[in-house]
Amino acid sequence: MQLRTLIFFVTSRCNAKCRTCFYWQELNRQGDLSFAEIDTLTGTMPQFRELWLSGGEPMMRPRLADIIQLFYQRNQIRTLNLPSNGLFSDRLVRLMEFVTASLPRLKVNLNLALDGFAETHDRIRGVPGNFEKAMRCIAALYPARERNPNIRIHVNSVITAENIDELEPLGRWLIEHARLNGQYFQVVRGDPMDGSLKAVEPARLAEFYRQVEPLHAHYARRLSERHGGGTKGRLAEFYYSRTLSFYYAVQHANLEHSTRWPMPCTAGQSILVVDYNGDVRACELRHKIANRREVGCDFRRILPSEALARETRAIVRDQCWCTHVCFIHDSAKSSRRAQLYEIPFKRQRV
């Protein structure tokens, strides 16, 4: 196994009540890994490139900056994906100031959640005023990005049966009222708190993906400009748009039933999940295979385990293809066919 990506539920604490959340039964429980346990964990892990934080709300984790620094210095992570509900603007700004001062080679993708305009977003997230606070948080992050080009500000929107008609207008509004690096749309997954939100019609989802193509084209052009235009910029623009089309096609094919991906799933191989309490899973949508506390948080006693080997074999056996973009992303990066043929040459349509 050559680990590239770790999804780490850094805390179970959360101050929202998102009806889209697939992790809702685990929120606000006792038992977060202590800083000392995380210290041991990072000290026994190999080098890997990408850390995806999750929770809970990551900004509620004490000593989050120190935790990120452990992964940066010991495990050589160079990309951090950090989701947030935008309710802790000051904490997030201070964290980005710390990254700029102390972690100069770290690229940070900030993913602020917006699932509709104010009324819809606040209703889905269960927090009155969440939309306005998230927009203020986005604006507060602009100075940090100006000082550090490795910081990118995105909006992540969860597609549901309740908000699908509102998300494309929201995207157009954000282009006019925010200075984002991108907006991404992920269809609701797993077993959310409100199961009715999963009643997304395949035909309507396909129409939605076509509607948001101009939004992605806008951010692709921004990416090209950041690369200085020319051949390098045009290539970045091309791959950005094609990659999103590829991800959407895979998600659409798996909306109602499991459909084989154009590449092998790498869950349990180059990507792993660690829960707030030390549970280890190959995928967020599968059961735990071990607990790090049972082995003293020593990663070396998990990585070569027979339990992990059985789980990776089971993933192949079960053919559990899904819509989970984190695993689609990692699996596509591991596949030469996806990188050299499916994404650049096979025009994806849903």
Instruction: Identify any residues that bridge with 185 across adjacent strands, giving them in sequence order.
Output: 157
Residue 151 has what DSSP assignment?
A: E
State the Cα–Cα distance between residues 160 and 165, nearest whole angstrom: 9
Instruction: Give the position of tokens 């550090």.
Output: 148
pLDDT-derived band at 89, boundaries 50, 70, 90 = very high
pLDDT exceeds 70 at position 177: yes
Look at residue 152 and give its three-state secondary structure.
strand
- Predicted local confidence at residue 154, as pLDDT: 98
- Predicted local confidence at residue 346, as pLDDT: 73
pTM of the entire structure?
A: 0.94
How many helices (H) does the chain have, and how many strands (E)?
Answer: 13, 9
Residues 6+ apart with CB under 8 A from 318: none
Averaged pLDDT, 49-63: 97
What residue type is assigned to position 198 of the chain?
A: K
- Predicted local confidence at residue 293, as pLDDT: 85
Instruction: Identify any residues that bridge with 146 across adjacent strands, giving them in sequence order.
Output: none
pLDDT tens digit string along 332-346?
999 999 999 999 987
State the Cα–Cα distance between residues 83 and 271, nearest whole angstrom: 18
**Burial letters 235-244, b for 16+ CB under 10 A, else e:** ebbebbbbbb
Averaged pLDDT, 81-90: 98
- Predicted local confidence at residue 1, as pLDDT: 64
- Predicted local confidence at residue 308, as pLDDT: 84
**The token pair that represents 273 in the structure block:** 């999940």
pLDDT tens digit string along 271-298?
999 999 999 999 999 999 888 888 888 8
Task: Tell me which architecture the domain covering 5-189+266-334 has in CATH.
Answer: Alpha-Beta Barrel (3.20)
